[in-house]
């Protein structure tokens, strides 16, 4: 059996080229993610009445994300999603988290997977190359629950005693929805199990507020 070394070398060169282009694009994505995560971190020390400028700054960055999706969809060869997905999975999960957290702060509502696809600028024609998998959407929502448990505590510090009650109701509904799912993905299952502690933490904050008679504040 003869091995066509030139053909193998060509394929390796093409794969390296694709990998390098994907990494270059995800580096740009990562820069924007870091900026957005930094802005979201300020939410924990900002009074609700002063949030609007911060949320607008986040939206301004978020609306540029679809262009990165276009670039990545053009880089990945047809039918090679599973070959390259590990290079951007973490970024997708964090983008869902940022979008979901922003949606909650703006409206108190849950970001649907359809809305997440729209925010990321995903197109049905890219499903074999670059897309939002249900598992990544759920990972993003788990990150949201993690962050909301932290927010519940920090809102009390800022003197907002109503926010933890709203967070508690929202997270309990979301947690109940997760319990209805048959999660077979090991990583997703482990992370889901961990949010029980976030739910308990939020419940403790709400209980402490009630115990201190701060509900009417």
Ordered domains of the chain (ranges, CATH): 5-211 (1.20.58.2140)
Q: Among 178, 197, 198, which Cα is nearest to 188's? A: 178
pLDDT surpassing 80 at residue 3: no
What would the pLDDT profile of 18-49 be if each residue is shown by its tens digit? Answer: 999 999 999 999 999 999 999 999 999 999 88
Contacts 24+ apart (CB under 8 A), 106-115: 106/55, 108/166, 108/170, 110/141, 110/170, 110/174, 113/137
Query: Distance between CA 115 and CA 144 in Å, rounded?
Result: 15
Enter the pTM of the model.
0.93
Mean pLDDT of 142-146: 96
The percent of residues in the chain predicted with pLDDT above 90, rounded, is 81
What would the pLDDT profile of 59-79 be if each residue is shown by its tens digit? Answer: 999 999 999 999 999 999 999
Can you give the pLDDT at residue 67?
97
Query: Distance between CA 207 and CA 193 in Å, rounded?
Result: 22
Query: Distance between CA 97 and CA 111 in Å, rounded?
Result: 9
């Amino acid at each position: 059996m003869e091995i066509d070394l030139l053909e193998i070398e060509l394929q390796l060169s093409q794969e390296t080229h694709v990998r390098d282009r994907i990494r270059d694009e995800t580096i740009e994505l990562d820069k924007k993610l870091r900026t957005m995560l930094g802005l979201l971190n300020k939410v924990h020390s900002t009074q609700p009445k002063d949030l609007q400028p911060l949320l607008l700054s986040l939206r301004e960055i978020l609306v540029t994300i679809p262009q990165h999706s276009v670039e990545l969809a053009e880089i990945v060869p047809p039918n090679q999603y599973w070959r390259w997905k590990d290079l951007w999975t973490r970024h997708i999960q964090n983008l869902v988290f940022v979008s979901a957290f922003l949606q909650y702060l703006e409206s108190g509502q849950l970001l649907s997977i359809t809305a997440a696809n729209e925010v990321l600028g995903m197109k049905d024609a890219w499903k074999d190359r670059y897309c939002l998998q249900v598992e990544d959407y759920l990972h993003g929502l788990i990150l949201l629950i993690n962050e909301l448990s932290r927010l519940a505590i920090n809102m009390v510090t800022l003197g907002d005693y109503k926010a933890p009650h709203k967070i508690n109701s929202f997270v309990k509904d979301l947690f109940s929805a997760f319990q209805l799912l048959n999660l077979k993905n090991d990583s997703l299952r482990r992370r889901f199990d961990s949010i029980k502690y976030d739910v308990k933490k939020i419940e403790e904050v709400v209980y402490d507020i009630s115990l201190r008679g701060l509900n009417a504040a």
